């Protein structure tokens, strides 16, 4: 069911549970087992956690379907921390994704009807579903699910960081921790332990777990802690009698005091209530004993009975038999984890600490050898190696947008500031501050509207109509000088480049919009801002970004960033040109001002 190659997705932003799993991983010297969180409806974001004393980033995603393919292929377990209101929905989402072999449902109080529906639905998927109302499961020395196992001190004292040979199954999560400690004191520890959960209906049952333990070569002996209520433990007795379970079973059902109480008594769990004699703890204990299980006289004697059965299975073997080898020092690892400190900054794009500076984990010598500044942009801005057609497009865009003469507002501001005697940096900043919705900033606006329209499958006609009704000028459409009869050469160059694109869904949409706007006025062309926006959208889509990820980049302002980067070159050129020409302070002539 679980192994050192098990990896989990946590449904719900349960960072404390994830940290406990990662601490266990560190103790066991295995790879970090938590791959991602599902934070329903929220945008992707990274969360800082520790592996030992090293900080790592664990991403969260809005839903299961949005998980990257490499995570989907690696994971096998979903730890479902969704509330009782949404746990069933999250479980159904997990089943339908066909990603997971194991699903653990933590929430208690899920409506019984929904649990029954999950049981029925899972018949077509065959997923191991533990819960509801479980704390999880533990494969000692290999994989921890959620908060099970308790504190680090309890993990160590119960020897859960190493592989034992006892299979433990219980309904109670709290009692599972107690039993692990008892087993560790009397044997070489647990191999795997599972808490089924305290709700009336368990999706994984005692029968399912016992069959799993019987087939598991690493499990030499089975310990079962049952309880009052239900008849599952009676089925285990029947399986022992029928020879379906051949391994030694030490069993006890708690709640024997129930027979001394008048009337039906509801114990702690929803399922801990006997509705017939066959559901009482005493009946089940007697039946298990008759079937051949090792059954103590009371819970007080449970540990002795476990030790007695263990030495029958392993005569002469020390308790440490079965522990995973290794030279690691547990106390030293605990000390390291207790003294870790969070960093103040996070950098995921570059690292100067090694022998050679890296951009997105690639040495700069590789970029220098390739000789493409667009490749650097792709890795520093998008953290991706872009295809050649995209690199050509970025390089071309930077060339075409580098300058548009001294008359545009940004260049004029930079020129006036430089002529006032300010330094290059101050003059450049003055030029850059003019970039906004009416100058250069239209790329972000065009990207936002085009992306949303294509995602929502809005027709160009409906799009134009809705923008007109909202009295919003379409970003990326229209030009002061260029028109249908005086086309922009830059747009012609970009349009020719688009022939190399694998798909151009957003560009085609923008061109259809242009056809409609040109019917109104000849200068309502798809301008260079709109064309750059549409073509970048197509690139982003082609390299695997979904709508939400693209929208995040739009909100960040990355589309405008390409214009800012390109136009910085032109602004600097104008500043140098003015200073080289020794131009003096500029004053606007009176005749250019209307005084009222």
* Res. 267 pLDDT band, cuts 50 70 90: low
The answer as to whether 538 is a domain residue is yes
Token pair of 115, please? 């649990």
Mean pLDDT, to the nearest integer, of 331-357? 93
On whether both 316 and 425 belong to a single domain, the answer is no
The answer as to whether 328 is a domain residue is no
Question: Residue 532: which CATH number?
Answer: 1.10.230.10
The answer as to whether 469 is a domain residue is yes
341/353 Cα distance (integer angstroms)? 19
Phi, psi at 216, each rounded to 5°: -90, 115
On whether both 128 and 182 belong to a single domain, the answer is no
Give the number of domains in the chain: 3
DSSP string, 205-220: -HHHHHHHHHH-TT--
- Residue of 47, 269, 455, 479 marked active site: 269
β-bridge pairing 77-80 and 8-11: parallel
The answer as to whether 71 is a domain residue is yes
Residues 6 or more apart whose CB falls under 8 angstroms from that of 216 comprise 167, 191, 192
On whether both 110 and 189 belong to a single domain, the answer is no
427/450 Cα distance (integer angstroms)? 34
On whether both 309 and 443 belong to a single domain, the answer is no
Q: Are 271 and 198 contacting, i.e. CB atoms less than 8 angstroms apart? A: yes
On whether both 303 and 221 belong to a single domain, the answer is yes
On whether both 107 and 64 belong to a single domain, the answer is yes
182/185 Cα distance (integer angstroms)? 5
* Res. 12 pLDDT band, cuts 50 70 90: very high
pLDDT tens digits for range 323-335: 443 435 888 999 9
pLDDT of residue 264: 63
pLDDT tens digits for range 248-264: 999 999 988 766 666 56
Of 83-87, 150-154, 174-178, 278-282, the range with the highest mean pLDDT is 83-87
The vertex-10 CA angle with 8 and 11, nearest 5°, equals 140
Containing 49, the helix (H) or strand (E) segment is: strand 45-51
On whether both 123 and 194 belong to a single domain, the answer is no
Preceding omega of 132 cis (within 30 degrees of 0) = yes
The answer as to whether 8 is a domain residue is yes
Give the residue, 440 or 404, on which the prediction is more confident: 404
Residue 269 known to be catalytic: yes
Average pLDDT, the chain: 92
On whether both 522 and 566 belong to a single domain, the answer is yes
| Domain housing 182 | 164-320
Give the residue, 201 or 245, on which the prediction is more confident: 245
pLDDT of residue 362: 96
On whether both 124 and 171 belong to a single domain, the answer is no
The answer as to whether 151 is a domain residue is no
The answer as to whether 388 is a domain residue is no
The answer as to whether 35 is a domain residue is yes
Whether the per-residue pLDDT at 300 is higher than 60: the answer is yes
Question: Residue 43: which CATH number?
Answer: 3.40.50.720
Decide which of 255, 285, 320 is a domain's last residue. Answer: 320
pLDDT of residue 324: 43
Q: For tokens 């989907």, what's the residue? A: 72
pLDDT of residue 322: 42
On whether both 461 and 500 belong to a single domain, the answer is yes
């Amino acid at each position: 069911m679980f192994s050192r190659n098990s990896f989990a997705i946590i449904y719900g932003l349960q960072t404390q549970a994830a940290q406990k799993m990662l601490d266990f991983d560190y103790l066991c010297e295995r790879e970090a087992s938590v791959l991602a969180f599902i934070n329903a409806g929220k945008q992707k974001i990274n969360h800082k956690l520790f592996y030992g004393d090293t900080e790592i980033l664990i991403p969260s995603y809005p839903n299961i379907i949005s998980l990257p393919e490499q995570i989907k292929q690696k994971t096998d377990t979903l730890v479902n921390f969704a509330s009782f209101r949404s746990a069933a929905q999250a479980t159904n989402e997990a089943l339908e994704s066909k990603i997971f072999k194991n699903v653990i449902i933590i929430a208690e109080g899920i409506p019984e009807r929904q649990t029954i529906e999950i049981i029925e639905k899972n018949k077509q998927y065959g997923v191991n579903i533990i819960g509801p109302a479980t704390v999880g499961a533990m494969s000692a020395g290999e994989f921890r699910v959620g908060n099970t196992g308790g504190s680090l001190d309890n993990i160590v004292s119960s020897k859960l960081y190493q592989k034992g040979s006892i299979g433990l199954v219980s309904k109670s999560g709290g009692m599972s921790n107690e039993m692990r400690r008892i087993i560790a004191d009397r044997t070489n520890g647990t191999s795997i332990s599972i808490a089924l959960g305290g709700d009336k209906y368990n999706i994984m049952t005692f029968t399912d777990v016992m069959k799993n333990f019987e087939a598991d070569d690493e499990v030499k002996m089975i310990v079962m802690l049952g309880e009052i209520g239900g008849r599952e433990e009676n089925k285990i007795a029947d399986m022992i009698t029928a020879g379906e379970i051949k391994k030694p079973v030490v069993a006890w059902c708690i709640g024997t005091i129930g027979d001394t109480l008048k009337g039906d008594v509801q114990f702690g769990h929803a399922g801990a209530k006997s509705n017939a004699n066959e559901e009482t703890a005493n009946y089940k204990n007697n039946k298990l004993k008759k079937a051949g299980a090792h059954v103590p006289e009371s819970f007080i004697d449970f540990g002795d009975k476990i030790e007695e059965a263990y030495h029958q299975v392993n005569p002469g073997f020390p308790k440490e038999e079965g522990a995973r080898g290794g030279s690691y020092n547990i106390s030293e690892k605990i000390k390291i984890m207790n003294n870790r400190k969070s960093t103040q900054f996070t950098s995921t794009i570059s690292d100067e600490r090694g022998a050679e500076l890296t951009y997105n984990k690639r040495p700069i010598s590789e970029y220098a050898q390739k000789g493409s500044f667009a490749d650097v942009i792709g890795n520093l801005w998008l953290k991706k190696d872009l295809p050649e057609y995209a690199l050509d497009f970025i390089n071309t865009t930077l060339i075409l947008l580098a300058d548009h003469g001294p008359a545009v507002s940004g260049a004029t501001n930079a020129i006036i500031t430089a002529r006032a005697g300010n330094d290059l940096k101050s003059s450049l900043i003055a030029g850059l501050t003019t970039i906004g919705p009416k100058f250069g900033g239209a790329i972000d606006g065009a990207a936002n509207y085009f992306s949303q329209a294509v995602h929502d499958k809005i027709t160009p006609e409906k799009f134009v109509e809705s923008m007109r009704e909202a009295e919003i000028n379409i970003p990326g459409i229209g030009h002061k000088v260029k028109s249908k009869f005086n086309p922009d050469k830059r747009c012609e160059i970009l349009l020719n480049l688009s022939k190399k694109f694998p798909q151009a869904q957003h560009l085609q949409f923008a061109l259809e919009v242009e056809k409609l706007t040109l019917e109104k006025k000849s200068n309502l062309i798809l301008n260079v801002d709109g064309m750059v926006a549409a073509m970048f959208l197509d690139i982003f889509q082609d390299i695997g970004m979904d709508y939400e990820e693209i929208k995040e980049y739009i909100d960040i302002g990355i589309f405008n960033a390409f214009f800012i980067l390109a136009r910085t070159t032109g602004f600097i050129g104008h500043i140098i040109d003015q200073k080289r020409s020794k131009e003096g302070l500029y004053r606007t002539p009176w005749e250019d001002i209307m005084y009222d």
